[in-house]
Amino acid sequence: DQQVKQNSPSLSVQEGRISILNCDYTNSMFDYFLWYKKYPAEGPTFLISISSIKDKNEDGRFTVFLNKSAKHLSLHIVPSQPGDSAVYFCAASWDGTASKLTFGTGTRLQVTL
Amino acid sequence: GAVVSQHPSRVICKSGTSVKIECRSLDFQATTMFWYRQFPKQSLMLMATSNEGSKATYEQGVEKDKFLINHASLTLSTLTVTSAHPEDSSFYICSFRGGGNIQYFGAGTRLSVL
């Protein structure tokens, strides 16, 4: 039972444009969400998080939007850069902390020149 | 961000042998560390939560006698896969919860059991 789903395994975006990565979840108990970026041969690195009491969190070029009614979150990267090419994972937890994370399967983003 | 060192990055072993994977936090003292497993085309799945100085808590379906976790210090946790079999071949990755309510991850260990 996949409680966190990233339905797009891959995404290609031109440099300078917006990248939108989507994530859906089924467990309404989730109350804290994180996005991680992973380069080959490295561990996932934290990008941005959002608590369920918010619907938007912004950090530089990265913005995460949360739609609780739709059980959907998205990561926007503007403008996209070639160095953003990586696999992006969304993760969720239900205790308001970064414990017992449930991960999606990831979306591979390719930013082209 | 915090640095987590995980070794080895890749290990190949014969069926029936045991394999130990180390996870060290280099610049942070971690009370709680986590071990995940990822099979091909699947997501990272939490196996167990490792608490310094106490027994690990295992997720449902994870055999605690097969996957031995030791978190003897605030900077080191180890996962030992005992009597490994080909179905244990997977990608194992550790993390610890650091400041800012974030988990910091190691680079992972790819285990291949022949």
Q: Which residues of B touch A (CB under 8 A)?
A: 1, 4, 6, 9, 32, 34, 36, 41-46, 49, 93, 95, 97, 101-108
CB B63 within 8 A of CB B9: no
Residue spans of chain B under pLDDT 50? none
- Indicate whether A42 pLDDT > 90: no
Which residue did the predictor score with more confidence, B51 or A58?
A58
**Residue A41 φ/ψ region, left for φ over 0, alpha for ψ in the -120 to 50 degree band, beta for the rest:** left
The whole-angstrom separation of Cα A112 and Cα A110 is 6
- Per-residue pLDDT of A95-106, as tens digits, reads 777 788 999 999
How large is the C-alpha radius of gyration of chain B?
A: 13
- Per-residue pLDDT of A68-107, as tens digits, reads 999 999 999 999 999 999 999 999 998 777 788 999 999 9
* Planar angle of CA A82, A90, B87, nearest 5 degrees: 105
> Closest to B105 (Cβ–Cβ): which among A44, A49, A97?
A44
- Indicate whether A1 pLDDT > 90: no
- Indicate whether A110 pLDDT > 90: yes
Cβ–Cβ pairs < 8 A, chains A and B: 58
pLDDT of residue B1: 64
Do you know the residue count of chain B? Answer: 114
